[in-house]
Chains A and B, each alone.
Chain A
Amino acid sequence: MEPLLLRNINVPDSHALATYKARGGYRSWERVLQAMKPEQLIEEVKASGLRGRGGAGFPTGMKWSFVPKDSPKPRYLVCNADESEPGTFKDRLLIEKDPHAVIEGTLIAAYAIQSHIAFIYIRGELVFGAAMLDRAVTEAIQAGYIGKNIAGSGYDLDVIVHRGAGAYICGEETALLSSLEGGRGWPKVKPPFPATHGLFGCPTVVNNVETLAALPWIIERGAPAYAALGTEKSKGSKLFSVSGHISRPGVYELEMGYPFKKFLEEDCGGVPNGRKLKGVIPGGGSMPVLRSEEIEKVNLDYESIQAAGSMLGSGGVIVMDDSTCMVRAAWNIARFYAHESCGQCSPCREGCHWMEKIFRRIEQGGGEPGDLDLILNISGNIMGNTICPFGDAAAMPAAAFIKKFRDEFEAHITEKRCTVTAQ
């Protein structure tokens, strides 16, 4: 397909305003200001079928429409650039190579909900990315795209690039807002949702970088052009970050519904070194792993991956070849969640560490009969019992690794060593 989200990234100086403008940048923003009412804009994005690209896949236009029109409180738009999901590095590419597309999308979304302050919450480690965004915001202010009475429209908007400080949980929208309020990044119970009770109790919309970066194209070409791409329930294009045992790792843009197997074998060059594919995590570390034979008929869209028992998530594809010890992989992911649990809900705070310890002892040859069922039991007791989806994100991959590769885990326990990796 003709690249939509990645259309600028290979152009020299793609980060500069002059380059972005020469390629049609900020025309959508000008058009929105001159000719579109917020309601029209919301309807347009609804009609495009765009869904949130941060992982949850919630329809973007609908999310905006939940902001009360008659609230006397200020409204806030937040661009979620806290990209931290294991295996995901697509937002970083957009931020570093096409920051103006991210900013233009942020402006459009802010206008849709009539916000006058927009935040771009970027993970603290991305120092270079934050500098690129800061520079681009300054350029956009100087060009009159951000500020007071923008282009004579009477609309005011300020954009603040806000750095996180190292906490995976802040990618979860209510945790992000707690962090932006200056506190610990603790998720909040929903409802009430941020659309009515967000930042400092005010109506707030949090949208992912990739979601926002799609908006200028949608306004430029129209909702029907976007909706013509993809499948019935998964419209448009999506970025996939591919890593692990793969010949050509990187960020790819695909029309939704692209065959998974073809993607890995042809576009990404397949598994290198004559190895065979063993398993693949399709949507970032939070999603259940799939065995190689399970992806045969899967397409890269929300519904097809869900039908196969996993989720599209962030589109972080982690490829594992037949030299991979799945006990080690499961332990690695469990360790991530044990480290990142925010500690509010007991099932997650305790359970994540228990799962990590048990996976570790199995991996180190100290596994006991019953350990696998114990992990499944802990996982089941975390699922659905926490304030935010982090608990599910820790529980699902742990259970999936065991269910999909149980023989290997059992062999590890009985033989007290790895039977897969060549020592």
Chain B
Amino acid sequence: MALEFSPETYKKFEETVSRYPKKEAAMLPVLYLAQEEFGCLSPEAINYVAQIMGQSPARVQGVVSFYTMFNTKPIGRHHIQVCRTLSCALGGAEKITSFIKKALGIETGQTTSDGRFTLSEVECLASCGTAPMMQINDEYYENLTEEKVTEILQKLK
């Protein structure tokens, strides 16, 4: 089935593109709109973006695959991303990751069977002074302890 933006999103798309000096410069914001609307950037979503941006699907696919924040497959409702880079590692990030794996019964890169959580380990999120930390969807959670993680996960349905 061919995907397309809702009229509201299409309006946002046109507004976004109009602000940039060239249409192609709006590629990342348009991909964000598509990801938000379609859940992930599937081949169908990429074809649609290519069409409205006047680019080849190959070019759009090339952009999508370069950036870690674009998902080509569906992910859980809550995307847990634990920072693993040096400052967080010194602060005990590995223990936090192991704790989450055990609590959710999944490995890094996997999604819980109920589709609630996906777990990723990511590189530095500019939150090194409050290590260890994780990002879940748009939110940062800092100075983590196992107790804090338990509390956070319980609240996310």
A interface residues, Cβ below 8 angstroms from B: 74, 76, 83-89, 91-92, 117, 123-128, 158, 160, 162-168, 179-185, 199-200, 241-245, 249-251, 281, 285, 316, 318, 320, 324, 328-329, 332-333, 335-336, 339-340, 342
- Among B29, B124, B135, point to the contact of A86 (Cβ < 8 A): B124
Known contacts being A165-B31, A167-B66, A185-B66, is A86 close to B85, with CB within 8 Å? yes
B26 contacts across to A, CB distance below 8 A: 182
A335–B139 Cα distance when bound, in Å, is: 25
A200 vs B63: C-alpha distance when bound (angstroms): 17
Nearest to B27 among chain A residues (CB) is: A182
B29, B69, B91, B140: which contacts A162 (Cβ < 8 A)? B29
B contact residues around A324 at 8 Å (CB): 90
Chain A residues, Cβ within 8 Å of B123: 84, 86, 168, 336, 339-340
When the two chains form their complex, are residues B24 and A182 in contact, meaning their CB atoms are under 8 A apart?
Answer: yes
Contact partners of A163 in chain B: CB under 8 A: 28-29, 32
Residue of B nearest to A184 (CB): B66
Asked whether A165 lies within 8 Å of B87 as measured between CB atoms, the reply is no
Are A166 and B69 in contact (CB-based, < 8 A)?
A: yes
In the complex, are the beta carbons of B129 and A74 less than 8 A apart? no
CB of B28 within 8 A of CB of A162, answer yes
Partner of A85, one of B84, B124, B131: B124
How far, in whole Å, are A183 and B63 apart by their CA atoms in the complex?
6
Q: Which listed residue, B24, B84, B129, B140, touches A249 by the CB 8 Å rule?
A: B129
Interface residue count for B (Cβ, 8 Å)? 40
Cross-chain pairs A/B with CB under 8 angstroms, 8 sampled? A86-B123, A127-B139, A158-B19, A241-B129, A329-B90, A332-B85, A336-B85, A339-B123
Q: Could you tell me the dominant secondary structure of chain A's interface residues?
A: mixed
Q: Does B99 contact A (CB under 8 A)?
A: no
CA–CA, A168 and B68, complex, Å:
10
For residue B5, CB closer than 8 A to chain A, the reply is: no
Q: Flag if A88 contacts B128 (CB, 8 Å).
A: yes
| Contact for A88 among B59, B67, B126, B138, CB less than 8 A | B126
How far is B36's CA from A163's CA once the two chains are assembled, in angstroms? 14
A250 to B87, CA, bound (A): 12
Set of chain B residues within 8 Å of A318, measured between Cβ atoms: 86-87, 90, 128
Within 8 Å by CB of B20, from A92, A160, A165, A249, lies A160
Pick from A128, A166, A200 the residue with the most CB of B within 10 Å. A166
Q: Residues of A contacting B130 with CB < 8 Å?
A: 249
- Whether B89 is near chain A, meaning CB under 8 Å from some CB there, is yes
| Complex contact A332–B21 (CB within 8 A) | no
A167-B66, A285-B86, A329-B86 known; A316-B25 Cβ under 8 A: no
Which partner residue on chain B sits nearest A251 by CB separation? B129
A184 in complex: contacting residue of B63, B69, B125, B131, CB < 8 Å? B63
| Contact call A332/B89, Cβ cutoff below 8 A | yes
